[in-house]
Amino acid sequence: MRRIAIVGGGQSGLQLALGLQQHGYKVTVVTDRSGEDIAAGRVMSSQCMFHTALEYERELGLNYWEAEGPYVEGMSMSIAGPDGSRPVHWSARLERPAQAIDQRVKYPRWMQEVEDRGGALIIERCDAAGLERLAKEHELVIVASGKGDLKDLFPASPARTMHGQPMRALALTYVKNMTPREEFTAVNFNIVPGVGEYFVFPALTTTGACEIMVFEGLPGGPMDCWGDVRTPQAHLAKSRWILDTFLPWEAARCQDVALTDDNGTLAGRFQPVVREPVARLPSGARVLGMADAVCLNDPITGQGSNNASKAAHAYLHAILERGRESLTDEAWMRATFDRAWTGEGVGAATLWTNALLLPPPPHVLQLFGAANTLGGIASRFVNAFDDPRDFGGWFLDPGGAERFIAEQQAGAAS
Ligand SMILES: Cc1cc2nc3c(=O)[nH]c(=O)nc-3n(C[C@H](O)[C@H](O)[C@H](O)COP(=O)(O)OP(=O)(O)OC[C@H]3O[C@@H](n4cnc5c(N)ncnc54)[C@H](O)[C@@H]3O)c2cc1C
């Protein structure tokens, strides 16, 4: 029986561990917090996942919240004008729904499942010496520790890292009692030029259904405003202030909102970095990085958990197909990362996410404006969140955008 160690019990680490167990592999998961600590702790993400990433969980039977968790059926886009107006406002349905299950709900359940299926779950903060020990006892060590310090073992890849600093001041506010959208449930995405972005969508948290507010403030701007917030109630008040000031149509849905719980808030910032996938320990042993540990994106496009699920899926199949051959051959390790980066579109998601952190170029503003009347543009934009490889030929390419708009206009006129 092959023995594999995974450091980091999060989206990618637990999903891969449970997948390997189903195929008879012996797994050790080392993670720094117990399920109880996670469940009782602070929110970590907004974790909205689209169809492909959800399907990878479903293939492994890990979708325990289908009945309970609200579905996200579509997405809307608004751009705020300087006078409180809304010059861009459109929405479209997802072909297949998205869903967000609070990681405080998901991870403890999956951790329990790893143990129930006979895996070793070690609650311990792993460091480089711990990786050395794991490397001696296992045929492969995967580092899936997300934004934690272990990522620094993997050298940054300058060619794939587009921004040299954090690009947004981030905040999360988990609330209940928000007025539901009419027509269908959705991610409401709002852009306030020069200030930042705000998106909100239904989710399942520890106390039941909720809405998750995500704030992406431009550094130094008025939405970069969390430094002096000391209490959960002050965090909620600041969230409401942002909506009252810049997004009146979103504020109107929030007359009665209350926090889901005192741990339903988060504020912080980090630099998006892509790293080399293989690190060499002082002993010469190699470890393989997965998901955020080696490909950390800003949450502006809600792709991190999706990328993590896609990476876990890619790594699972790469390991299975490897059969009895070495799992520490560097070329194979790099090819495994590439299976996620290229084969699952994690690289395309990263490129597109990094592009959205910059002021929108003229062709993107044109696309957003044209989508007010051309539903085909709205629909393509919304559905490409599931597989961002689709953005390359039109959203990221001025010529492609022009052709796509012309095509849609011609279709509408005929
Ligand atoms: C504000 C915000 C909003 C987001 N919204 C979305 C969204 O809507 N959609 C989306 O797809 N993604 C979103 N993300 C990103 C998403 O949450 C992450 O990309 C995803 O969780 C990454 O999965 P992972 O497996 O790499 O790491 P994680 O899920 O972070 O898991 C890593 C685990 O490793 C543990 N760990 C860390 N260091 C150590 C150590 N030294 N030893 C042992 N264990 C360790 C951690 O405690 C954690 O349990 C958001 C992120 C943020 C910050």
Burial of 55 (0-12, 13-18, 19+ CB in 10 A): middle
Per residue in 60-77, pLDDT (tens digit) is 999 999 999 999 999 999
Q: Which domain holds residue 112?
A: 3-62+102-163+271-353
Name the strand (E) or helix (H) holding 71: strand 71-79
Distance CA(171)–CA(235), nearest Å, equals 9
Which residue minimizes the CA distance to atom 17 of ligand 1? Answer: 45
CA distance 412 to 414: 6
What's the CATH number where 259 sits?
3.30.9.40
Ligand 1 centre distance from Cα of residue 147 (Å):
7
Find the 142 Cα to ligand 1 centroid distance in Å: 15
**Dist. CA 9 → ligand 1 center (Å):** 9
Tell me the C-alpha to C-alpha distance, in Å, between residue 317 and each of 92, 190, 320, 322, 344: 34, 38, 5, 8, 12
Are residue 80 and residue 191 in the same domain, yes or no? yes
CA of 170 to the centre of ligand 1 (A): 14
Kindly report the length of the chain.
Answer: 414
pLDDT at 1: 78
Ligand 1 mutation pick, 16, 45, 142, max ligand atoms within 8 A of CB:
45
Probe residue for ligand 1, chosen from 52, 145, 316 as the CB with the greatest number of ligand atoms within 8 Å = 145
Average pLDDT, the chain: 97
* Same domain? 207 vs 300: no
- 344 SS3 class: coil
Amino acid at the residue 212: I
Percent of the chain with pLDDT over 90: 99
Confidence of residue 214 (pLDDT cuts 50, 70, 90): very high
| Ligand 1 centroid – CA 244 distance (Å) | 30
Q: What does the pLDDT read at residue 381?
A: 98
312, 196: one domain: no
Q: Which residues, other chains included, contact 220 with Cβ-Cβ below 8 Å and sequence gap of 6+?
A: none
Cα of 140 from ligand 1 centre, angstroms: 21
pLDDT (mean) for 132-157: 98
Domain count, the chain: 3
Q: Which of 33, 38, 43, 47 to mutate to test the pocket of ligand 1 (most atoms within 8 A of CB)?
A: 47
Q: Which helix (H) or strand (E) holds 74?
A: strand 71-79
Q: Which pLDDT does position 406 carry in this prediction?
A: 97
CATH number at 321 reads: 3.50.50.60
Pairing type for strands 71-79 and 208-217 reads: unpaired
Sign of the dihedral through C-alpha 254, 257, 262, 263: negative
Q: Which atom of ligand 1 approaches the CA of 296 most closely?
A: 19
Q: Could you say which DSSP state residue 343 is in?
A: I
How would residue 231 be classed by pLDDT, with cut points 50, 70 and 90?
very high
Q: Same structural domain for residues 145 and 41?
A: yes
Q: For tokens 């690289």, what's the residue?
A: 347
pLDDT at 336: 98
- Which DSSP string corresponds to 122-181? EE----HHHHHHHHHH-SEEEE--TTSGGGGGSPB-TTT---SS---EEEEEEEE-PPPP
Q: What is the pLDDT of residue 88?
A: 97
Q: Which atom of ligand 1 is nearest to the CA of 124?
A: 43
Using the predicted structure, report yes or no on whether residue 118 has a pLDDT greater than 90.
Answer: yes
Nearest to 166 by CA among 208, 226, 213: 226
Instruction: Please name the amino acid found at residue 281.
Output: L
* Same domain flag for 55 and 122: yes
State whether the Cα torsion 221-224-230-236 is positive or negative: positive
* Single-letter amino acid, residue 345: G
Cross-strand pairs, 215: 171, 198
Structure tokens at 396: 């990221």
Average pLDDT for 377-403: 98
- pLDDT for the residue 38: 98
Cα–Cα dist 50/389, whole Å: 14
Ligand 1: centre distance to CA 344 (Å): 19
- Mean pLDDT, residues 27-49 taken together: 98
Residue 84 pLDDT: 85
The whole model's pTM is what?
0.98
Q: What is the pLDDT of residue 83?
A: 87
Which of these three, 268, 302, 332, is where a domain ends?
268
Q: Is 67 exposed, middle or buried (0-12, 13-18, 19+ CB in 10 A)?
A: exposed
- Nearest-5° angle of CA 48, CA 53, CA 113? 90
Nearest CA to ligand 1 atom 27: 146
Q: What are the pocket residues of ligand 1 if the criterion is a CB atom closer than 6 Å to any ligand atom?
A: 7-13, 30-33, 45-49, 125-126, 144-146, 148, 150, 170, 172, 214, 291-293, 299, 302-306, 308
Residue 248 has pLDDT above 90, yes or no: yes
Instruction: Over range 284-295, report the average pLDDT.
Output: 98
pLDDT per residue as tens digits for the range 310-357: 999 999 999 999 999 999 999 999 999 999 999 999 999 999 999 999
Average pLDDT for 186-204: 98
Mean pLDDT of 241-265: 98
The verdict on 24 and 110 lying in the same domain is yes
Q: Which residue, 211, 214, 204, 212, is CA-closest to 180?
A: 211
Where does 284-351 show beta strands of DSSP type E?
Answer: 286-289, 295-296
Residue 282 and residue 232 share a domain: no
Q: Cα–Cα distance between 392 and 46 in angstroms, integer?
A: 25
> Do 33 and 131 belong to one domain?
yes
CA 144 to centroid of ligand 1, rounded, Å:
9
Helix or strand or coil: residue 26? strand
CA 292 to ligand 1 centroid distance, Å: 7
Q: What's the whole-number mean pLDDT along residues 205-216? A: 98
The residue among 214, 243, 268 that closes a domain is 268
Shared domain check, 139 and 18: yes
Going through 218-262 in order, the beta strands assigned E by DSSP cover: 258-259
Sign of the torsion angle spanned by Cα atoms 18, 20, 25, 29: negative
- Of 374, 399, 394, 397, nearest in space to 384 by CA: 394
- Is residue 23 pLDDT above 90, yes or no? yes
Q: For ligand 1, atom 51, which residue shows the shortest CA distance? A: 45
Cα of 291 to ligand 1 centre, how many Å?
Answer: 9
Specify whether 173 is located in the same domain as 229: yes
Shared domain for 177 and 133, answered yes or no, is no
Which residue's CA is the closest to the ligand 1 atom numbered 2?
45
Mean pLDDT of 264-292: 98
Picking from 268, 299, 328, the residue at the C-terminal end of a domain is 268
Clarify whether residues 146 and 280 are in a common domain.
Answer: yes
List, in order, residues 6 or more apart from 397 with CB less than 8 Å away: none
Q: Which residues contact 258 (CB under 8 A, 6 or more apart)?
A: 175, 176, 177, 236
Per-residue confidence (pLDDT) for residue 414, from 0 to 100: 83
Give the pLDDT confidence score for residue 219 in this predicted structure: 98
**Relative to the CA of 290, which ligand 1 atom is closest?**
26
Q: Whose CA is nearest to atom 30 of ligand 1?
A: 146
